[in-house]
A and B are shown apart, each in its own frame.
Chain A
Amino acid sequence: MKNKLQKLRDDFLRQLSTVDTSERLRDLELKYLSRKGELSEIMHELKNLSGELKRDIGGLANAVKTELQDKFTEARRLLDKRSGGERMTDVSLPGEKIINGHLNPITLVQNELEDLFTSLGFMVLDGPELESDYYNFTALNLSPDHPARDMQDTFYIDYKNKSGQYDLLMRTQTSPVQIRAMRKYGAPLKAIIPGRCFRNESTDARHEHTFYQVEGILVDKNINFANLKSFLEIVGQKLFGPDTKLRMRPKFFPFVEPGNNGEYSCFLCGGKGCRVCKNTGWLEIVGAGLIHPDVLRAGGIDPEVYSGLAFGFGLNRLAMLKYSINDVRLFNSGDLKFLEQF
């Protein structure tokens, strides 16, 4: 048994010393070291021995096994090293291709705004895209004959109410959710409302009948104009960088009083004037104001106790500015040449 082991060891080592290809190395491994190789066979026979002999031979067998395996590993390492020197590895080869998917840039900008406002303690709310005339207009201080309704061309649903009027429509703004939110949560209230809106206007590079807004409201005690201004400033700084400045001017929205437009100093040129801001140095971004007492009332909130501020952004416009997109129709185009860039 001992001799058998010794012979096997010598034979293996001799042959190993002359191995010069990985094929021959593999043959050697199969013959001696594999599960059904000669070494295993000897080890198998060990179980027929008894007592001390078994321990002795067993110890030897294990020592031989370890030695042969070490030598074998060493030989393989050398062989690999040698052949590695000959075979050229193209280190510049790319890794395996992984296909990417893409989110719509509106989603990206919306997520960014949601994260900003939730960090400030705002809720994120949804509302129906098909709205009633009441919530979309009347409750927002736009009575049925209000001329300001013309500011928003509206898609009406072909369904007339008892008085023979179209009173269902595709919401022209996210503002109806203001009223729904006030009714549901009461005051105090901090919420943003992102969503899809519709205007009945022909589409071109600058106009889209289906577009996206984020609207925000903050209702609490003693919310004032200085708060509104400050609030718009930090939003601008978050969106466009810490040096962003705000410029406000009066603008009429029936659901706020006073109402304003907010322009931010151009993030590209810092206000000097460039292509993005059409050389004005300013970008018109946000509409805002203090919530009109009639709107608070419509929302079931007492304007003598509470006041609020409201503001709205066009997501399309923000995304267009952020990524220098020049055609608003691309967002709804489903064109991969556009989508795959985001």
Chain B
Amino acid sequence: MYISLNWLKDFVKIPAKINPAVLAEKLTGHTVEVEGFVNSGEQFDRVVVGKVLEVAKHPNADRLRLTVVDVKKTKLNIVCGAPNVAPGQLVAVALVGAILPNGLEIKAAEIRGEKSAGMICAEDELGLGKDHEGIMVLNGDAKIGEPFAKYLKAEDIVLEIDNKSLSNRPDLLNHYGLAREVAAIFSLPLKPYDKFFQKKWNFAEAKENTLEVKVKEPELCARYQALKVENIEVKESPAWLKERLVAINQRPINNIVDLTNYVMFDCGQPMHAFDAAKVTKIVVRRAEDNEVLETLDEKERVLDNQDLLITDGKEAIAIAGVMGGRHSEIGPDTTALILESANFLGSSVRRTAQKFGLRTEASVRFEKSLAPNLTEFALWRFLTLLKEICPKMKIASALADINNAADKETKIVLDLNWLTVKIGQEISRSEVADILKRLGFILADEDGDILTVTVPAWRAIKDVTTREDLAEEILRLFGYNNVVSRLPILEMRLPETNQERVLERKIKSLLAGKHALNEVYNYSFVGEEQLKKLDIDFSNHLKLANPLTDLQTMLRQSLVPGLINNIKTNQSRPGDLGFFEIGSIFWPAPGNFKKEIAGDETLPYQEKHLGVAMAGEDGNALGRVKAVVNNMLQNLLGYEEEAEFSLLENIPGWANKKAAVSIKIYEKEIGFAAIISPETTEKVNLKKEAAIAELNFTFLVQLVLGRSSFDFREPAKYPPIIRDLAFVVNQKILYNDLRSEFLKFNPLIKKVELFDVYSGSKLPDGQKSLAFHLVYQDDSRTLTAPEVNKIQEELMVHLAKKFEAKLRDF
């Protein structure tokens, strides 16, 4: 929101020593963030008044003209496209280097072979209107060579206020409200608003002049004031009015519309004027379902019975508090108007405005809940100014005033001792009283530590309702930075350790440190296109109701799509790539978190997964992924543990069916690992062989926490005998089966370690060779070579029988 300093000064006399910088700093420190301030003339920097001396046809373009323009210091040759340019006109000339309010930067140019040293501006280019039909012709007050800002009298300081910090302060969305804060902050006198309007008017009392107004939904419309005014001449607004609106970035339209806007920016009350030729009475009611109204922005709005309408008894003429209808719009032919100054329920306006995506200046104010008595001030202010603009105007009806507002003051009891405890330091009674009075609060005439505070009407609705709210008011004017800081004195307590987080950090440092993987954070959202390519069924994915892009419409159920993207992003690098992520996945099934405090409903299921992706050219991506997973499990669960890899049952569509493995530990499946199939690799444009493992991190946490404590084992007293054994088996025989067979075969075989796998030209087709270190050991004695030899011979016989294994003889 923009606030004009000139406008503020109508209401509070700001001494010169409070320069704009100080004003901005103090407002930010005590009330609301001022994002910056500009000299409003600055937007017209390098725009000057010029006089058109000559106009000639452009030799190479029918529509363009060559002009010579006098800007006092020099005479410029400017190519102009406007049909209305003529010698003798006073015009706004943007010089080379100017950046116009519409963002256009003026450069010296050659247009169809003719040099042009500037631009003669149209209204829209200057941000002063919509008109682009021709150049803006200035009136006779313009002096050749003077800055255009000076001609426009646009010399003002404009403060830009952060709207977001105003969502609880509708009273500040206008100049009087902000002037009130300025007065309070600097202890300056504030001119009462009633000095700015005439309160007594000759309303047409005759019965035949009654304007009929009915409000059928009193709870949605706390106040409705309306009256009819005749003898109106709709025309351009006077200069002062236009200047003020332009200064705060509002586009002037016509005097009546401009004036309703002006009053809104003056005191905060949105108003609306209907053409009285089109509207004879007012009925405020809910819309019927599917009722249609064409709004001022020329869009057809289909309504439902949650929307509040202003109607003429039959047809809708406005969406209450949001936007007027096009049919009853004020136009050049309007001679009489019905003026509305009303208060609508914030939540209702908000719902309707949101539904239509129509945030108007009016709806933004109403939705924050305005004081119902504000309509009166606005009405009087409007009439007072209207009389200035249209001196012939005549009030043609009695004032219709439906008042459904609860006539109740908000009173808060404030115990100063409580305040001292809350702040942590004492603020004297007199200072508290002074601050509250400066802000318009009324204090009962009483002594002692208990104050009875009446909240002023403009703060009473949904803003200041509790003693905590008062504490904030007092504290912010006292100054947050004037509070003496003091650390709390608390009893010591042992905090509960978040084991899951400890584990997460351990895994992250292990994977990034020891295994040289890179930690990625991928989006929680995935899209159809990618999932289709990966052959992932997304019929059961949770979907976003309002996705930002087609690429992110659903919630992920796997970390795989993101990890594949990571490989793709980086695959132009030579060599190996490795990534990991710990992140949440989401399922449309009942989860572990409650949805609300009451009831048994739960949120959808969500759990953390750990994904590891490796890619490279060595053809052993899966082996490396397995090694990382196994090593990690050993680090978490014990160095003796081994992950068990077996053929995966439900193989994902993107995986190589022959190289997809289930990962088990303690006989519990905790995830899978797989190579991305050649088909998928091609479909998603991967350039390297990649393998991905995805583990259920939540399971992993349970395993680690459920593991019995780790005991040191004394080193064996008797030496082991280690034998290497290499043999040839059919390729279908699995390592897992061989390994467990060894371990089952004889209790003296304590450890089996694979050290070589070979299949190739030296072996018959379909055969492979596996080489193992077998560790024989007895805890109670030293083994002898002959007894180990004997076991090993028996073992070979057994393996030959069971697996048709032959000793490797080369």
Residues of A within 8 A of B (CB): 98-104, 106-107, 111, 114, 118, 121-132, 134-135, 139, 144-145, 147-148, 150-151, 155-159, 166-168, 170, 179-180, 183, 185, 188, 190, 196, 198, 200-203, 209-210, 218, 220, 222-227, 229-231, 233-234, 247-252, 254, 257-261, 290, 292-293, 298, 300, 307, 331-336, 339-340
**Docked-complex contact B487 and A298, CB < 8 angstroms:** no
CA–CA, A220 and B29, complex, Å = 28
Q: Are A101 and B524 in contact (CB under 8 A)?
A: no
Are B487 and A307 interface neighbours, CB within 8 A? no
Q: Which residues of B contact A331 (CB under 8 A)?
A: 521
* Chain A residues positioned under 8 Å from B520 (CB to CB): 104, 334, 339
Closest residue of chain B to A260, judged by CB? B480
Task: Give, as a whole number of angstroms, the nearest-CB distance from A34 to chain B.
Answer: 24
- Which chain A residues lie closer than 8 Å to B566 at the CB level? 334
- List of 8 A-B pairs having minimum Cβ-Cβ separation, nearest first: A226-B424, A145-B347, A224-B424, A258-B472, A230-B485, A248-B480, A101-B512, A334-B566
Bound: A202/B551 CA distance, A: 13
Within the complex, which residue of B368, B486, B523 is in contact with A230, where a contact is CB–CB below 8 Å?
B486
Q: Is the CB of B488 within 8 A of A227?
A: yes
What would be 20 A-B contacts, judged by CB atoms less than 8 Å apart?
A101-B519, A128-B591, A130-B586, A147-B368, A151-B164, A155-B545, A155-B547, A157-B544, A157-B545, A159-B542, A183-B597, A196-B521, A218-B488, A224-B488, A247-B481, A258-B480, A335-B569, A336-B569, A336-B570, A336-B577
- Expressed in whole angstroms, the Cα–Cα distance for A202 and B548 within the complex equals 7
Q: Which residue of the partner chain B has the closest CB to A292?
A: B468
- Assess the A209–B548 pair: CB atoms within 8 A: yes
For A261, the chain B residues whose CB sits under 8 A away are 33
Task: Annotate B470-514 by CB proximity to A: 1 below 8 A, 0 otherwise.
Answer: 011001100011011111101111011110110001001101110
User: Per a CB cutoff under 8 Å, which of A148, A167, A231 touches B167?
Assistant: A148
Give B residues with C-beta under 8 Å from A: 28-33, 164-169, 346-347, 350-351, 367-368, 421-425, 466, 468-469, 471-472, 475-476, 480-481, 483-488, 490-493, 495-498, 500-501, 505, 508-509, 511-513, 515-524, 542-548, 555, 562, 565-566, 569-570, 573, 577-579, 583-584, 586, 588, 591, 593, 595-597, 603-604, 606
Tell me, in angstroms, the Cα distance from A150 to B495 when the chains sit together. 36
Chain B residue nearest in CB terms to A221 = B490
Q: For residue B423, which residues in chain A have a CB less than 8 angstroms away from its CB?
A: 224-226
A131 & B498 in contact (Cβ 8 Å cutoff): no
Contact residues in B for A100 (Cβ distance below 8 Å): 516
Closest to A298 in B: B597
* A125: chain B residues within 8 A (beta carbon): 498
Given known pairs A101-B516, A331-B521, A339-B519, the reply for A251 and B487 (CB within 8 Å) is no
Are A132's CB and B595's CB within 8 A?
yes
Closest CB in chain B relative to A223 CB, distance in Å:
6
Q: Could you say which residues of chain A place their CB within 8 Å of the CB of B593?
A: 127-128, 180
**The residue from B483, B570, B604 contacting A334, defined by CB atoms under 8 A apart:** B570
Q: How far is the CA of A272 from the CA of B484 in the complex (A)?
A: 24
Beyond A158-B542, A226-B484, A252-B167, 5 additional contacts (C-beta under 8 Å) are A123-B498, A147-B167, A157-B545, A188-B493, A225-B483
Q: Are B471 and A257 in contact (CB under 8 A)?
A: yes
Contact A130–B424 (Cβ < 8 Å): no
Interchain CA distance A230-B488 in the complex, whole Å: 8
A32 vs B636: C-alpha distance when bound (angstroms): 53
- When chains A and B are docked, how far (Å) is the Cα of A126 from the Cα of B503? 13
The answer to whether B480 and A128 touch across the interface, beta carbons within 8 angstroms, is: no
**A198 (CB) vs chain B CBs: closest residue:** B524
Interface centre among B346, B350, B521, B604 (most CB of A within 10 A): B521
Task: Report how far A234 CA is from B485 CA in the complex, Å.
Answer: 10
Task: Name which residue of chain A comes closest to B580, CB basis.
Answer: A101
With known contacts A126-B501, A250-B30, A332-B522, A258–B168 Cβ distance under 8 A:
no
Q: Cβ of B422 and Cβ of A307 under 8 Å apart?
A: yes
Cross-chain contact of B565 among A188, A200, A230, A334 (Cβ < 8 A): A334
Q: How far is the CA of A125 from the CA of B521 in the complex (A)?
A: 19
B31 CB, nearest partner CB in chain A, Å: 7
* Interchain CA distance A180-B594 in the complex, whole Å: 9
Are B33 and A251 touching (Cβ within 8 A)?
A: yes
B297 to chain A, nearest CB (A): 20
Residues on A with beta carbons closer than 8 Å to the beta carbon of B524: 129, 170, 196, 198, 210
Residue of A nearest to B348 (CB): A145
Which one of B31, B505, B546 lies within 8 Å of A250 (CB-CB)? B31
User: Is A104 a contact of B167 with CB atoms below 8 Å?
Assistant: no
Bound-state CA distance A234–B486 (Å) is: 11
A226 to B424, CA, bound (A): 5
A234 to B500, CA, bound (A): 28
CB distance from B635 to the nearest CB of A (A): 15
